Chains A and B, each alone.
Chain A
Amino acid sequence: MAALARASTERLESGWQALGQPAAYDLLRRPEIGMVMVRGRSGGTGPKFNLGEMTVTRCVVRLESGTLGYGYVAGRDRRRAELAAVFDALLQEPATHGPAMRHLVEPLEAELAAAAQLGREKAAATKVRFFTMVRGE
């Protein structure tokens, strides 16, 4: 779900297309835009406090088999929440788990890991290498 929550709508749509035969599902809870209060901790590790809210869209779908899928994604994109919920459901079904992993989750995880690695490398280039000047002599 961590990968699904970070996927763009386009990425989820293309994964959906790649699955071929679209799965039938009902919207048990139509995509709804709301907020989640983001909490921090004083000093990073201390008691909790409310930092501020973030927009979140949620959706619940039901496959024909009865399996429920939940989508909770940052932002206000209803289609994205719906597709995240559908994939959450498909990943729980033995028949569709493999294809959903192959067509969406695995490539997505690789993309996210690559993007994170690129970010780390850019940050690493700004890391200070201290050196000591030899004085006197």
Chain B
Amino acid sequence: MYVAVKGGEAAIANAERLLAEKRRGDPAVPELSTAQIEQQLGLAVDRVMTEGSLYDRELAALALKQACGDQLEAVFLLRAFRTTLPRFGASEPIDTARMQVERRISATFKDLPGGQVLGPSFDYTHRLLDFSLLATGGEPPPPAPLGEAEPESMPHVLAMLDREGLIESEIDRRPDAPVPDITRDPMTFPADRAARLQGLARGDEGFLLALGYSVQRGYGRNHPFAGEIRFGAVEVEFVPEELGFAVSLGDVAVTECEMINQFKGSATEPPQFTRGYGLAFGHCERKTMAMALVDRALRARELGEEIDSPAQDEEFVLYHADNVEASGFVQHLKLPHYVDFQAELVLVRGMRRAAEAAAQRARPLAVAAGEE
């Protein structure tokens, strides 16, 4: 017999009020505005936008505020919100070669057109706690120094290798082919690289970081070079149906990482470097680097490599990369399982009774055997 139970409304309402009080913290401390989160916790906003799969800085900041800073909870909130909006269509592909570059580095060429532009980065800091930041209300830091902006463009490093034929070309050979969308159609395997890249772009940074690390340590045999990492604003263009030509929607900030991997050759093709690609909203180099490592690892089948590591297994990677799905399934264990557990309890008690009864039946025989 199944008995439905109800209850807990008052407890839930009060728990929500308690959460609201906790979220606000000590009322003597000024309340955080979403503008402050957007401006001063910008990298948290970037991660929430990327994994929440929705570029909207204000909404991501709001989600972070509502989630008390819990990034995965904020990602969940943003994902839930995005399901309430209609989709007008898909943009023209962004052109990262025309990026307004804030940072651009290459680990493969020291001297390259456009140069090594460090931009705002933690990389060269000493990682010592800066106690001066404990104080608030002081003067803002002086404006950053200005340099002489050169008119030269910043070509992709890999495009230079491509011109020499030393790396596989990235060409859209089927420009009219439909683009798979894992938010509309269930994933199928073997997955198209486009579907994999979408899954990786919205995938959990921690999960991808660990997989990328595993690849470097030997689980997947590829230890690449960071050909180029760039961060900056790119224009997004969209062709509204009623207009039939592209209009500019404005800019989005993106980070792009191109990895250069071990070469491959065949009877018909000379050896060439291969590629791994990472792209994400906002400034998130670690994420895009991990994404590029995993993208390359997942190309094992296409490149005729042996598949023997977790990062090369596309079902494993793509089914577990989404932190909204993962945290939903892990956290569902908190929900009442009273009936399931009762059933298990009855089962284990019955098994114990049966085992005890069997032991009792066996004992007199053993005793008799001992007396002989």
Contact = CB atoms under 8 A, between A and B. Distances in A.
Interface stretch (B15-23, B195-203, B204-212, B327-335): B195-203
B303 interface: no
Nearest to B235: A2
Interface string A95-133: 000000000000000000000111111111111101000
Interface residues of A, number: 51
Interface string B263-287: 0000000000001010111000000
> How extensive is the interface on chain B, given as a class?
35 or more
A52 B256 contact: no
Contacts, number: 226
Give the interface SS of chain B, mostly helix, strand, loop or mixed: mixed
B194 A48 contact: yes
A27 B247 CA distance: 20
B162 to A, nearest CB: 8
Nearest to B233: A119
Interface in B105-153: 110-111, 115-119, 144-150
Interface string B46-86: 00011001111011000000000000000000000010011
A127 B89 CA distance: 38
B337 interface: no
Interface string B287-299: 0000000010000
Interface stretch (B172-180, B309-317, B350-358): B172-180
B33 interface: no
B144 A41 contact: no
Contacts of B198: 49-51
B93 A48 contact: yes
A39 B235 CA distance: 11
B94 A39 contact: yes
Interface string A69-84: 0101111100000000
In the A-B complex, the 4 residue pairs with the closest CB atoms: A43-B170, A124-B147, A46-B170, A125-B147
Given A36-B91, A47-B177, A58-B88, 6 more contacts: A36-B87, A50-B183, A73-B249, A73-B250, A117-B149, A121-B147
